[in-house]
Amino acid sequence: GAGVSQSPSNKVTEKGKDVELRCDPISGHTALYWYRQSLGQGLEFLIYFQGNSAPDKSGLPSDRFSAERTGGSVSTLTIQRTQQEDSAVYLCASSSRLAGAYEQYFGPGTRLTVT
């Protein structure tokens, strides 16, 4: 596709439910990032995938958060037993050294609201 896409664009869920957020990176991009943007806060790094290497999960805030990337392309971020503090915009970005060593292209985000 032309850019990074994410779905759903908005998600409202009840506290305690599990949610899955999807990211489709730019075709051919080997690196994929997940970030969280809470109201009034800077973007917070969650997890990073690079090719077939083990992902960098150092930013995941708790074991309720997990992510996978299938076939080196699509990624899903799963939040189990959601809490109200999980409410935020979840942004995905992809990059490739062919596109510029430091350039990251962001998707539009998924706005998660936990009630």
Q: Which residues bind another protein (CB under 8 A)?
A: 4, 31, 33, 35, 40-45, 48, 50, 56, 91, 93, 100, 102-109
Q: How far is the CB of 16 from another protein (least distance, A)?
A: 27
CB nearer to another protein: give 18 or 103.
103
CB nearer to another protein: give 20 or 44.
44
CB nearer to another protein: give 37 or 80.
37
Q: How far is the CB of 102 from another protein (least distance, A)?
A: 5
DSSP letters, the chain, are: --S-EEE-SEEEE-TT--EEEEEEPPTT--EEEEEEE-TTS--EEEEEEETTSPPB-TT--STTEEEEEGGGS-EEEEE-S--GGG-EEEEEEEE-GGG-TT--EE---EEEEE-
Q: How far is the CB of 9 from another protein (least distance, A)?
A: 9
Q: How far is the CB of 81 from another protein (least distance, A)?
A: 27
Which has the closest alpha carbon to 80: 55, 63, 103? Answer: 63
